[in-house]
Structure formats: structure tokens, C-alpha cells
Structure 1
Amino acid sequence: MASPLTKAGQTERTRRAILDQARSLFTKHGYAATGTEALISELSITRGALYYHFKGKIDVFKAVYSEAYSEIIDYIDARIEPVEDSWERLVIGCQAFLEIAQKEDLRRLVFIEAPAVLAAETIAEVDQRGFKLLYEGIQVVSEEGCLSTISIEGFAHLINGSLNELALWVAQSDDPQRLHTAQELIKTLLTQHKG
């Protein structure tokens, strides 16, 4: 027989259930079409329980978005982990980020809903984890003499901005050719600066 949940365990289980339900609804219906009533009714919790964990619907969305972004970082890490060459790791990591834009479970949340719902500062704050990974990759290839740039930090911002815009473009279509084109474009941009 399983031991009963502690108060902290029950609290965490309720929070997790809210986030899972919210992610499902935001992915299927979008932020605007998902009311707080929909978040709580299927879970059979009170509005007070929702507000115990989150200030409101926007905070639920921020938490869902932050978790989704962590999944993106994990996906990129998994794609580059077996690759030994630093330059290839950089290229594959950038291309892996673009692949997310056609993964249906993340596409709507990250590339369609988030830009329409969250402030640019919030998106940039969450993106710092991805930017750090990109910056470190660029720094490594620069130190190895594989990259020629006047500023590592500036170049990281250039690539990050390009990746974000290309991902938005890819997310607008199911056409795999668009993803392939975006991946080739980012590879070309990087290669033009190869030292």
C-alpha cells in the first residue's frame, strides 16, 4: 500500500496537474480561447486552489512556456551530445532549435502563442538559457580558431536573432522544405564566418 502524500506532495501534485492541463488546453485552443474555468473544471479544483499556485492565467502560461523551453534545451543537448567536433556541435545545435518549430506539441506554445501573449522581456528572460548555450558554443569555436568575428557576444546575438526569426517562419508552415531551407540558411550564415 502506498504511503499517503504529505501536504507538500499534495501541493506539488496539484500544481503539476494544473500545468499539464494548461499545456494541453493552450496547445489545442490557444491562450485567448482558454479560460480559467477550463483550467480548473476538469481537474475538479477550486479557483482558490488555482490562485494558490498562480496569480492568474498569464502566470500559468509563463510556467508552461518556461517548461516547454527547458524541453527545447534538453532536445538540443541530446542532439549535440554525441558530436565531438565543436563546429559541428554549433551547427547541429542551431539546426535542432529550428526543428522544434515543426514539432506540433511545442510549436504553438513557443512560436505562436508566446510572442502574442508574453512581453518581449519575459521571452528574452526565458531565452537566456538558450542564448547561454549558443554563446558558449560560439565562444568555443572562436577560441579554437574556427570562427572569425569582431565580437563573440555580438555574433551570438546575431545568430540568436536569426534563429528566432527563422523559427517563427518555420512554425507558420508544415512544409518540411521550409525547415530544410531554414537549416541551410543558418548553416550558410555560420559558414560565412568560419575561420
Structure 2
Amino acid sequence: MVRKARTEMIAETRAKLVSAARLAFGTIGYADTSMDELTASVGLTRGALYHHFGDKKGLLEAVVQQIDAEMDNRLAEISNAAAGNWEGFVGRCEAYLAMALEPEIQRIVLRDAPSVLGSTYSQSSQSHCLATMADMLEQLMDERIIGKTDSKALARLLNGGLMNSAIWIANSEDAEDDLTMALDSLSLTLNGLLMRV
């Protein structure tokens, strides 16, 4: 029998902990998740958790990073499949807001992460999104689809509005109706960027 390499064992342990935490955080929430029960459920000890993630917050951050990456991939698929760059950009923005209805994203990314991880997480999480959005906006400006302005400033303005709206939807008692209102407002906002011929 071949022994597993140390790096493979580390990756497996991390994956087990992240998977178990994602399930627990998504179903019962961060605050109600017991680290003893979580680690025992995958045959590990709290020591393994502390060794790999530092603490419960570190584990939450790893879970959120995994979900963020999946969300980003889904958004990229939407823009890549769109008829044009404008349709792709609008589709990404709409899809991001719609994701606020998904229970796992609601609870982990839009409720627990902002309150537990604070602004440090929000800034690091947004950096990739902001860069992608700024690049897309720059391309739309170069194609003369939208008016010319600073793409980084516009990306911050739009991304902030999208994130704030997603958090509002995730915490709403009537999320479906609030999503509809947010999408209507988004359409009005984005159409205001279009160049007038």
C-alpha cells in the first residue's frame, strides 16, 4: 500500500474541515456550529482545525472563499455565454442579485461573513470582483457602449450597490419581492450608463 504524500494528507484534511463547516454553517449557522461536533463528524480533532485554520473564524473565511470562487465561476459562465459584452455585464449583475435568494449564500456569505469577518473580509473579497468589473466597464467604454468615466470608480459604485442590495435581499422577510424591486432599479441604473446616439 502506497502512503499518501504529506501535501495530499494536508489537502484532504483541509477539504474535510471546509466541507463539514460549509454544511454546518449553511444549515444551522456560524454561531450555532460547535467546533467539537464539527471536527468529530469528520473524524478529526479541534487541534486539526486550529492547525489548519487558526480558529473558527479562519474556517469561516475558507468556506466563504470557496463559495466566492464558485459564485465568480458562475458569473463568468453567464458573461461568456452572453450575446455581447453589454448583455454579459448586465447578466452578471442580475445573477449576482438573484444569488441572494440561495439559502447557503444568504446565510454564509451575506449574513454571517459580514458580521463575523467584518470589513477586512469584505475588502479582500471585493478586490477580485472590483478588478473584473472595472475591466468589463473599460471594455464597454472602449466599444462606446457606455459613457466614458473612470472605470475603477464606477466599478466601486456599482459593486457597492450590488453588494448592499444583495445583503438587503438576503435579510428580507419578502426576498422575492425585494429582488424584483432591486432588479428594476438595477435596470434603470445600468441603462443610464448607455451612450445616447
What is the CA–CA distance in structure 1 between the aligned matches of 2:166 and 2:41, rounded to whole Å? 33
**Does the CA contact (< 8 Å) of 1:149 and 1:155 recur in 2?**
no
1:9-20 matches, cutoff 5 A: 9-20=8-19
Deviation, structure 1 residue 166: 1.0
Structure 2 stretches of 5 or more lacking a match?
Answer: none
Deviation, structure 1 residue 142: 0.9
Root-mean-square deviation over aligned CA pairs: 1.7
Alignment-derived partner of residue 53 in structure 2: 54
| 4+ runs deviating over 4 angstroms | none
1:69-90 residue CA offsets vs partner (Å, 9 max, x unmatched):
1111011111121113111111
1:12-69 residue CA offsets vs partner (Å, 9 max, x unmatched):
1111000000111111121111132122121121222222211111100111011111
SS in 1 for 2:128: helix
**Does the CA contact (< 8 Å) of 1:22 and 1:60 recur in 2?**
yes
1:183 equivalenced with 2:177 (yes/no): no
Q: Which amino acid aligns with 1:191?
A: N
SS in 2 for 1:145: coil
Q: Size of the alignment, in residue pairs?
A: 194
Q: Which amino acid aligns with 1:37?
A: D
Alignment-derived partner of residue 89 in structure 2: 90
Q: Which amino acid aligns with 2:131?
A: K
Worse overlay, 100-109 or 3-12: 3-12
Identity over aligned pairs, percent = 25
Deviation, structure 1 residue 114: 0.8
1:108-131 residue CA offsets vs partner (Å, 9 max, x unmatched):
111111111112122111121212
1:28-177 matches, cutoff 5 A: 28-173=27-172, 175-177=175-177
Cα distance change on mapping 1:153 and 1:8 into 2, 3 Å: closer
Structure-2-length-normalised TM-score: 0.91
